[in-house]
Amino acid sequence: MTQSLMGKVAVVTGGASGIGLASAESMMAEGALVVIVDRDETALAALQETYGDAVITLPTDLLDTESCAALIPRILEKTKVIDIFHSNAGLYVGGDLVDAENDAIDRMLNLNINVVMKNVRDVLPHMIERGVGDILVTSSLAGHYPTPWEPVYASSKWAINCFVQTVRRQVCKQGIRVGSVSPGPVITSLLSDWPVEKLDEAKRSGSLMDASEVAEALLFMVTRPRHVTIRDIVIMPSQFDL
């Protein structure tokens, strides 16, 4: 390890499992102090036990309006700075549109779009004031291709890709890099909500990635020299046939 993030503070939302956890662990391995934000208190307690002073765990339900609004001030109170903000927490709604329930649509759109926008909005003034910062967003391959088995989810990721690209253009002259990673299917708990036939097909063709492969792409983005921005990475299994 090169310890290239020594002295940096990184925040990962939805960091208690899957892609977020892999991202948090890879940044910790490079020396960053990582703040893990998640609603899963049990998983956070186990991570605090495992990683000790290398992490700060913040139990937070980002779908709770007040908790979401308090997030960035709460973190800054503890760490004083935020160098990297990885907005990763997301929900999935797949299958036929006619089967999608109101509550599931609302919660997913709220977390995958509104919460990302609000968290990024809230952390930006701090980064702009310092003239430095990295914002990463976990999007999805579904945000680039109209995947017919998940119209609601795909729409949320198309929206967030637009957000990433427009915010980047707004703040790029102020020392802030904004990038996204768009993975194809990754073995995480989120896949348990995938349509069964789609998941079986992906398993049969070996079209699943490990979360650590996505974390490597994210780490690559934040460890470039500051005059270089890696804008967006699409990372997918070679065998995946859309």
The sheet that has 133-138: what strands, in order across it? 55-59, 33-38, 9-13, 84-87, 133-138, 176-183, 232-235
Among positions 72, 183, 221, 236, the unique one binding ligand NAD when judged by CB under 6 A:
183
Of 24-32, 122-130, 184-192, 223-231, the segment contacting ligand NAD by CB under 6 A is 184-192
**With binding defined as CB under 6 A, does residue 19 bind ligand NAD?**
yes
Of 89-97, 123-131, 215-223, 232-240, the segment contacting ligand NAD by CB under 6 A is 89-97
> What tokens does 192 get?
């348990």
Minimal distance, residue 35 CB to ligand NAD, in Å: 13
**With binding defined as CB under 6 A, does residue 212 bind ligand NAD?**
no
Whole-angstrom CA distances from 83 to 67, 151, 222 are 21, 34, 10
Task: Specify the DSSP class assigned to residue 94.
Answer: -
- State how far the Cα of 163 lies from the Cα of 145, in Å rounded to an integer: 17
> What tokens does 232 get?
């967006």
Of 96-104, 170-178, 189-197, 221-229, the segment contacting ligand NAD by CB under 6 A is 189-197
**With binding defined as CB under 6 A, does residue 189 bind ligand NAD?**
yes
Cα dihedral 117, 133, 9, 25 in deg (nearest 10)? 70
Minimal distance, residue 134 CB to ligand NAD, in Å: 17
**With binding defined as CB under 6 A, does residue 17 bind ligand NAD?**
yes
Whole-angstrom CA distances from 206 to 160, 184, 200, 241 are 28, 12, 10, 11
Of 87-95, 123-131, 199-207, 215-223, the segment contacting ligand NAD by CB under 6 A is 87-95
| Residues known to be catalytic | 153
Among positions 90, 94, 133, 237, the unique one binding ligand NAD when judged by CB under 6 A:
90
- State how far the Cα of 115 lies from the Cα of 135, in Å rounded to an integer: 14
Amino acid at 52: G
Lay out the site mask for ligand NAD across 57-76 (x = CB under 6 A, - = otherwise). Answer: ---xxxx-------------
Residue found under tokens 């198309």: 158
- State how far the Cα of 148 lies from the Cα of 233, in Å rounded to an integer: 22
**With binding defined as CB under 6 A, does residue 38 bind ligand NAD?**
yes
**With binding defined as CB under 6 A, does residue 89 bind ligand NAD?**
yes
Minimal distance, residue 112 CB to ligand NAD, in Å: 6
Q: Enumerate binding residues for ligand NAD (CB under 6 A).
A: 14, 16-20, 38-40, 60-63, 88-91, 111, 138, 140, 183, 185-186, 188-191
